[in-house]
Amino acid sequence: MSRLITYREALNEALAEEMERDEGVILMGEDIGVFNGAFKVTEGLHARFGAARVRDTPIAENTIVGMGIGAAMSGLRPVVEIMTINFSLLAFDQIVNHAAQVRAMFGGQVSVPLVLRMPQGGGHRLGATHSHSWEALFWHVPGLIVAVPSTAADAKGLLKAAIRSDDPVVFIEHEHLYAQRGEVADTGADDVGELGRAAVRRSGDDVTLIGVSRMAGTALAAAETLAAEHGVQADVLDPRTLRPLDLGTILASVRRTNRCVVVEEGWPTGGVGATLAALVGEHAFDHLDAPVARVTGADVPMPYAAELERAAVPDAAAVVRAALGTLRQA
């Protein structure tokens, strides 16, 4: 049995079920309690579980994350909400120098079972300080797990897995996805995802499309256009987590299709696509019939004007052009 629910509702269910299962799971963040969260992901949880477990915090990201790290090291399983990923910069020292390093610095004697939930991405006219995509920043850091779920089912399953993980997890939610509906299995507390396993969203033998976060849906839409209008069958992969990365599934696909296009909303320099292109080149160079292509967000601060913002975010047409470009180079 399954139900059709939104990405936002799936996240809310995951939080509620894990709080019911484990009294050590607590939530912290700005406006997540009485106000139910800026994006309403925590709606109803303050009333259901009380102020001691759903804590409204001051506007002080470095302090919030620091408190979460301390609580995690003391035996709790905190889930900290950063209102947007841009604000995580204010807590970067706590995330990179502490959450990610504690296990190694203490010789494995102390763990940090902490989840940092962060909405990100463009499309809502929130401007340059609220709309960027920074999964590449966190992917760079050893000691962190980085999840980028693109469907309601993965949002629920991977958040439950993140809460049960003994290592810190940066859990990135694209704001565009919150209202998107998807099938979610009706299996309750047992519906736990697997961190480090990519999903094959569509099968094909002509080109591999790798879409990250919201771009997994964009890649899928492009694949349907490629099939309908150009007779090209694309393999569409959704990594779901970047660290750990399911490189085996990616390489198996590229070795079959001999072409690869990476689609991300983040900036091109030092981005996810750059690293994936390097990995494919290092491990599957002899199988490539064309250079790995990248479709990225525009290399500019995210514009506020609606038309400019749309132009800064990759669309399916750009993915189609990139895929056809790799085929013309054969």
What is 179-232 written as a DSSP string?
T-EEEEES-GGG----TT--EEEE--SSEEEEE-TTHHHHHHHHHHHHHHHH--
Catalytic residue among 61, 135, 173, 175: 61
Catalytic residue among 46, 130, 174, 176: 130
Rounded-to-10 torsion of CA 80, 17, 72, 55: 50
Q: Both tokens of residue 28?
A: 């912290």
Secondary structure of residue 79 in the 3-state scheme: strand
Task: Report whether 141 contacts 104 (CB < 8 A).
Answer: no
Q: Is 130 a catalytic residue?
A: yes
3-class DSSP state for residue 287? Answer: helix
Q: How far is residue 36 from each of residues 45, 53, 76, 197, 322, measured CA to CA in Å?
A: 8, 13, 22, 31, 41
Active site residue 194: no
- Positions marked catalytic: 61, 130
